[in-house]
Amino acid sequence: MYGLDTVFVSEILLLALPLVFVLLVALHLRLRGRRRRHLHGNIEQLQVLRALLADLQRHRGLSNGLLCGDKSLRQEVTSICDRLDRSISNAKTLGSTHADTWQSLARQWQEARKIQGRDPSVNLIAHNRIISDTIFLIEDIYAEKDLSADHAELGYLVCIWHEVVQTAEWSGQARALGTGIAARRQSSADQRVRLRFLHQKITELSDLAFEHLAQRFSDKRKLDACREAVKGLLASLERELLTTDKPSIEAKQYFDQATCAINELFGLVDCALLDLKRVHGA
């Protein structure tokens, strides 16, 4: 009898093993699919945040110029405000483990967009706060899962999310403050000190980024174009705003010069996002 029981149990186990194997494979595929969807969702959020960051910076600069007296910027402010309204509304529908932060950004935007009759310095503070939180969210999403893990060709991404994005932000602050100064045709000593600080930060951080990316970034032509555009912004700051307290450059002209550098920096971010999508099949 004992021998028959043993044979019976053995037969049961032999029959069960394929089922267990199938269940384990199914579980593995389910977990892998969940990780893949999470990874693709993070890449999608980074794409949305890249566009959101650029538009928030643009709204900051244009609205500051408008509040400082250049009424010709009103239509562009209205246009970028409408685009941000749509972007924020769409972003709230994203599936994310950072839903609370997205909701916070939506609330901050509702405050930042109310520029009518606002003091320019208060306007800058409101924009700086939401932009800072947007950059923090970019870093949190990237840190949540190492998107460059096991992919040596993506090793440069850490420089993109830190040095390049932050250089774009220092440049954005210089654009916003400088556009307001150009609109008023005058600057205070405190404003020139702040611009000098921004000039220094852009120089230091961009040098660090370009040195790092020179060894790892595949599109050398795009990197060189970005380097030249940043040099142009720094030269414009020095020539138009830091050597005089009564600048003659038009607000829109300065805004556009600074925008060239910022667009080139975001172009490097776009290349990183394309590499992420290619490597991860997103």
Q: Rounded distance, CA 248 to CA 119, Å? A: 23
Q: Rounded distance, CA 137 to CA 111, Å? A: 19
Tokens 């566009």 sit on residue? 51
Provide the sign of the torsion angle of the four alpha carbons 40, 42, 48, 54, taken in this order: negative
> Per residue of the chain (282 residues), what is the pLDDT tens digit?
445 456 555 666 566 666 655 555 555 555 555 666 667 878 889 999 999 999 999 999 999 999 999 999 999 999 999 999 999 988 877 777 788 899 999 999 999 999 999 999 999 999 999 999 999 999 888 887 667 666 777 888 989 999 999 999 999 999 999 999 999 999 999 999 999 999 999 999 999 999 999 988 888 999 999 999 999 999 999 999 999 999 999 999 999 999 999 999 999 999 999 988 888 776
| Contact criterion met (CB below 8 Å) for 230 and 264 | yes
Q: Rounded distance, CA 124 to CA 142, Å? A: 27
Nearest Cα residue to 232 out of 160, 189, 174, 161: 174
Buried b / exposed e across 218-242, counting CB within 10 Å, b at 16+?
Answer: eeeebbeebbebbeebbebbeebbb
pTM of the model: 0.86
Where in the chain are the domains?
2-25+41-280
